């Protein structure tokens, strides 16, 4: 029953990818070179208290072997990025139910946590860095966005909101506030729409192909 509940919660819009913008994306700015030292640093920063992924490799092992793994992983990551190919093992997730609230006998009172392979998580950080930098350079992120941005949080959002409200009140102007919450918003994002938006922001073709491949054919196993 829990598998059925979680599957219903995590159904993404699996539409056909719009290949036009992705395949026509500019190759002028290709993916950066993944430096061995950068991989080593990420390996050394792995949280050893995190759980292992479906590949059975614990973060503690990879952290202890950072010097030995840095070079081969940097080569694998670079080739994966250049070709836009993502190993199937990196797209497998182990799903574990975590109790949120209410009766423990009700599967709907649990949230699913997906544990993915550590090697895949590391290259995701490189990909995220390039996408974020691209959006910032192209002004794809509005100054008012505080979520999922380095140096910003709910607190900075609250401070900004408070300043605007007090300014309007001091000026004697009317003010209306509307709060919206999209239920499980990330689980219903159209993949093709996401890719087209990234392409429109000028992301290079190799990165777009990698993201497209990363989104496609993901699998889950249940604990």
Report pLDDT digits (tens) over 39-70.
999 999 999 999 899 999 999 999 999 999 99
Q: Residue 132's Cα: distance from chain center in Å?
A: 11
The strand pair at 219-222 and 110-115 is best described as: unpaired
Q: Confirm if 130 and 31 have CB atoms less than 8 A apart.
A: yes
DSSP symbols for 126-137: HHHHHHHHHHHH
* 93 three-class SS: strand
Q: Which helix (H) or strand (E) holds 120?
A: helix 118-137
Q: What share of the chain in percent tops pLDDT 90?
A: 46
Specify the DSSP class assigned to residue 190: B
Tell the residue number behind the tokens 């992705």, with chain if given: 22
Half-sphere exposure of 56 (CA within 13 A, CB side): 0
Most confident of the ranges 33-42, 89-98, 214-223: 33-42
Tell the residue number behind the tokens 């139910």, with chain if given: 97
Question: How many helices and strands in the chain, by DSSP H and E?
Answer: 9, 3
18-22, 71-75, 117-121: range with lowest mean pLDDT: 18-22
What pLDDT score was predicted for residue 29?
62
* 220 three-class SS: strand
């Amino acid at each position: 029953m829990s598998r059925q509940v979680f599957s219903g919660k995590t159904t993404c819009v699996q539409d056909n990818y719009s290949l036009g913008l992705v395949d026509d994306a500019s190759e002028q700015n290709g993916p950066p070179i993944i430096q061995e030292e950068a991989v080593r640093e990420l390996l050394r920063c792995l949280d050893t208290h995190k759980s292992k992924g479906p590949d059975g490799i614990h973060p503690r092992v990879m952290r202890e072997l950072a010097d030995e793994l840095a070079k081969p992983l940097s080569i694998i990551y670079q080739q994966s990025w250049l070709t836009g190919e993502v190993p199937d093992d990196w797209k497998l997730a182990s799903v574990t139910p975590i109790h949120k609230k209410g009766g423990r006998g009700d599967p709907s009172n649990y949230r699913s946590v997906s544990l993915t392979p550590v090697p895949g998580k590391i290259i995701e950080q490189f990909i995220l860095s390039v996408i974020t930098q691209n959006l910032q350079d192209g002004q794809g992120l509005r100054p008012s966005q505080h979520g999922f941005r380095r140096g910003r949080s709910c607190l900075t959002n609250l401070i900004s909101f408070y300043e605007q409200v007090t300014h309007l009140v001091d000026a004697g102007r009317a003010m209306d506030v509307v709060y919206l919450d999209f239920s499980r918003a990330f689980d219903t994002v159209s993949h093709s729409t996401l890719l087209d938006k990234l392409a429109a922001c000028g992301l290079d073709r190799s990165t777009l192909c990698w993201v497209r491949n990363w989104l496609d054919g993901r699998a889950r196993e249940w604990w």
